[in-house]
C-alpha cells in the first residue's frame, strides 16, 4: 500500500509543469522552484515512509506547499522587522533607522555612479570625506573631522596613531565594556599602548591624573560611561580640569564620547548624555563617537578635534583599512544636513521617537486598541517605561504606552513566537503575563501589518 503511494508521487518535471500552470511561483527563478519541488517531494516520501502521511495531497495543496518553500528560500536573512519593543536604539535590531532623506540619498548613491571622489567643479579627483568634513566642523565647532567604520574603530585608530608605545591615563571608573568584547583595556593592548589606571571605581580626582603622568605618558583619555552609571559617593574630574592638565603637561586629551549627541536632549527628559559641542568647547583635542546611536545616522565612527591630531590620524595606515563606503557617507551627509538645517527633531527617526510625548503615545495606543477591537481582537492600553537603548542614557526611563495582548488560547510565549517568525517579523516584549507592543517604536504605517499579524496568529 505504501509502495503504491510512493509510486504515485509525481515526478519533478510533472510537478514543475503543474506549478507553471497554476502560476503560483511565476516570479521566482526556475532554479529556486526546482529546489523547492525536490524538497516537497522529499517531504512526501519521508511522510509516507514514517507513516505521518496517509495519502498524497492534491495538486492545489502541493502547489501551496511549494509556493511557501519558494517564498521562504527567497526571503533575505537580513531584512526589516517591526520594532514593538519600545527600545529606540535596539542594537540587535540595527540601532538607528535612517531618515527618509538619508534613505533617498543612499538609494541614489547605490544605484548610480557618484561624486564620491570626484570634484565636479574642477573635473578632477575629489576627496571622499569632503562631503561630511565641513558639516561636522560646522556642527561641532571642531577644526577638523574624520569618519571611519564605527566608534570602536575610531578609538583603535586614535590610540594607535597617538599613543602606541606609550601610556594612556584613564580613570578606573571609566574602563568600559561595550557589547561584543569591546573593552577599553583590551583595545589599549591591541594598539600597543599601556593602560595607566588611576583613581578608584567610584572616585577619581585631578591629583590622581597628575600622579599617573610620567615620561612615557602619551595622552589622557576620558571615556563616557555610556552604558552604566556609578551613583552615590562619586567624584569625576570635569573635562575642563582635564584639558587644563593636558595643556600644562603638553599631553593631548582624548575623549570616547559613545553616543555623539549633537542636540541637547534635556528638554526631552534625557539628561545624562553630553553633547559633542560641549567637549569641543571644553578644549578636548580629539573626540570620537558613533554615527548610529543618538546621532541617528548610519553606522560610522566620527572623529572631530584639533587639525594637527586629525591630520596624524588621516595619515595612519589603519585609516585606509577603516574606510567607509559611499552609502554610509551619503546617509551621514544628509543626516548631518538635517541638523544643520534645524530639522533634525522632525526628520531623524531616532530623535522623533525619543521626543514622542507620553500623551501622544497614549492616544496612538488607544486608536490602535479601537482598530483591534473592530477586528475582534481585545487589547488593553498600559502605561510603561522605555529605555533609550544602544548603551545610551542607561538610567533614563521614558514614559510610554503599549497595547497588551493576552492570548485567548495558547501562551504568551506562543504569541510572541508567532509574531516573530513571520516574513516581516514583529518583535514585542513580554511583561506582566502579557505580550506588549510599545507605541514609541512602532510607525503609524506599520500598525495595519501588526494587526494582520495578530489576526493570523489565531491566538488573540
Residues that bind ligand PLP (CB under 6 A): 150-152, 176, 178, 182, 223-224, 226, 256, 258, 290, 301, 391
> In the complex, what is the shortest distance from the CB of residue 215 to ligand PLP, in angstroms, rounded to a whole number?
28
> In the complex, what is the shortest distance from the CB of residue 182 to ligand PLP, in angstroms, rounded to a whole number?
6
- Of the candidates 218, 247, 211, 212, the one whose C-alpha atom is nearest the C-alpha of residue 159 is 218
288 vs 457 by CB, closer to ligand PLP: 288
- CA-to-CA distance for 326 and 421, rounded, in angstroms? 33
336 vs 439 by CB, closer to ligand PLP: 336
- CA-to-CA distance for 179 and 224, rounded, in angstroms? 15
Q: Is the dihedral of CA 271, 276, 281, 282 positive or negative?
A: positive
144 vs 151 by CB, closer to ligand PLP: 151
> In the complex, what is the shortest distance from the CB of residue 199 to ligand PLP, in angstroms, rounded to a whole number?
18
The runs of H, that is alpha helices, within 284-431 are 307-315, 317-321, 326-340, 344-347, 349-355, 358-374, 412-420
> In the complex, what is the shortest distance from the CB of residue 251 to ligand PLP, in angstroms, rounded to a whole number?
21
> In the complex, what is the shortest distance from the CB of residue 178 to ligand PLP, in angstroms, rounded to a whole number?
4
> In the complex, what is the shortest distance from the CB of residue 226 to ligand PLP, in angstroms, rounded to a whole number?
3
290 vs 328 by CB, closer to ligand PLP: 290
256 vs 416 by CB, closer to ligand PLP: 256
DSSP, collapsed to helix, strand or coil, labels residue 370 as helix
- Of the candidates 53, 66, 57, the one whose C-alpha atom is nearest the C-alpha of residue 17 is 66
Give every CB contact of residue 384 below 8 A, 6+ residues apart in sequence. Answer: 86, 399, 400, 401, 402, 431, 436, 438
Taking the C-alpha atoms of 239, 244, 249 and 255 in order, what is their torsion angle to the nearest 10 degrees? 20
> In the complex, what is the shortest distance from the CB of residue 267 to ligand PLP, in angstroms, rounded to a whole number?
23
- Of the candidates 315, 310, 256, the one whose C-alpha atom is nearest the C-alpha of residue 136 is 310
> In the complex, what is the shortest distance from the CB of residue 168 to ligand PLP, in angstroms, rounded to a whole number?
15
> In the complex, what is the shortest distance from the CB of residue 129 to ligand PLP, in angstroms, rounded to a whole number?
17
- Of the candidates 85, 81, 80, 82, the one whose C-alpha atom is nearest the C-alpha of residue 440 is 85
- CA-to-CA distance for 259 and 275, rounded, in angstroms? 9
- CA-to-CA distance for 162 and 314, rounded, in angstroms? 12
99 vs 226 by CB, closer to ligand PLP: 226
183 vs 443 by CB, closer to ligand PLP: 183
139 vs 176 by CB, closer to ligand PLP: 176
Residue nearest to ligand PLP (CB): 258
- What's the CA angle centered on 95, arms 137 and 227, to 5 degrees? 80
Q: Is the dihedral of CA 84, 261, 310, 222 positive or negative?
A: negative
99 vs 149 by CB, closer to ligand PLP: 149
**What cell was used for 455?**
489576526
Amino acid at each position: 500500500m505504501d509502495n503504491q503511494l510512493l509510486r504515485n508521487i509525481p515526478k519533478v518535471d510533472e510537478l514543475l509543469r503543474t506549478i507553471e500552470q497554476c502560476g503560483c511561483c511565476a516570479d521566482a527563478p526556475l532554479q529556486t522552484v526546482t529546489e523547492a519541488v525536490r524538497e516537497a517531494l522529499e517531504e512526501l516520501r519521508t511522510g509516507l515512509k514514517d507513516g505521518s502521511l496517509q495519502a498524497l495531497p492534491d495538486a492545489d495543496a502541493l502547489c501551496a506547499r511549494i509556493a511557501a518553500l519558494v517564498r521562504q528560500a527567497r526571503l533575505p536573512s537580513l531584512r526589516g522587522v517591526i520594532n514593538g519593543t519600545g527600545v529606540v536604539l535596539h542594537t540587535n535590531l540595527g540601532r538607528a533607522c535612517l531618515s527618509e532623506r538619508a534613505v533617498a540619498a543612499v538609494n541614489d548613491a547605490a544605484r548610480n555612479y557618484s561624486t564620491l571622489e570626484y570634484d565636479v567643479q574642477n573635473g578632477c579627483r575629489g576627496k571622499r570625506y569632503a562631503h561630511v568634513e565641513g558639516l561636522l566642523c560646522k556642527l561641532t565647532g571642531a577644526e577638523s573631522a574624520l569618519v571611519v567604520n564605527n566608534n570602536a574603530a575610531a578609538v583603535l585608530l586614535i590610540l594607535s596613531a597617538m599613543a602606541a608605545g606609550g601610556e594612556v591615563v584613564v580613570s578606573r571608573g571609566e574602563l568600559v565594556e561595550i557589547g561584543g568584547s569591546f573593552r577599553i583595556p583590551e583595545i589599549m593592548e591591541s594598539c600597543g599602548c599601556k593602560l595607566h589606571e588611576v583613581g578608584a571605581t567610584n572616585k577619581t580626582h585631578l591629583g590622581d591624573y597628575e600622579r599617573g603622568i610620567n615620561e612615557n605618558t602619551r595622552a589622557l583619555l576620558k571615556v563616557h560611561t555610556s552604558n552604566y552609571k556609578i551613583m552615590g559617593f562619586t567624584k569625576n574630574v570635569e573635562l575642563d580640569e582635564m584639558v587644563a592638565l593636558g595643556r600644562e603637561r603638553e599631553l593631548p586629551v582624548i575623549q570616547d564620547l559613545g553616543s555623539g549627541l549633537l542636540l541637547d536632549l534635556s528638554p526631552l527628559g534625557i539628561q545624562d548624555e553630553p553633547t559633542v559641542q560641549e567637549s569641543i568647547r571644553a578644549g578636548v583635542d580629539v573626540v570620537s563617537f558613533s554615527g548610529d546611536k543618538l546621532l541617528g545616522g548610519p553606522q560610522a565612527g566620527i572623529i572631530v578635534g584639533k587639525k594637527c591630531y586629525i591630520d596624524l590620524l588621516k595619515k595612519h595606515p589603519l585609516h585606509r583599512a577603516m574606510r567607509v563606503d559611499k552609502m554610509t557617507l551619503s546617509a551621514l551627509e544628509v543626516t548631518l544636513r538635517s541638523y544643520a538645517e534645524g530639522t533634525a527633531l522632525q526628520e531623524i527617526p531616532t530623535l522623533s521617537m525619543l521626543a514622542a510625548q507620553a500623551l501622544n503615545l497614549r492616544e496612538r495606543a488607544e486608536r490602535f486598541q479601537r482598530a483591534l477591537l473592530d477586528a475582534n481582537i481585545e487589547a488593553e492600553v498600559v502605561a510603561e517605561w522605555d529605555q533609550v537603548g544602544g548603551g545610551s542614557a542607561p538610567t533614563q526611563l521614558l514614559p510610554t504606552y503599549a497595547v497588551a495582548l493576552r492570548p485567548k488560547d495558547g501562551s504568551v510565549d506562543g504569541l510572541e513566537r508567532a509574531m516573530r517568525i513571520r516574513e516581516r517579523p514583529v518583535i514585542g516584549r513580554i511583561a506582566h503575563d502579557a505580550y506588549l507592543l510599545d507605541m514609541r517604536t512602532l510607525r503609524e504605517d506599520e500598525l495595519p501589518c501588526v494587526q494582520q499579524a495578530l489576526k493570523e496568529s489565531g491566538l488573540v
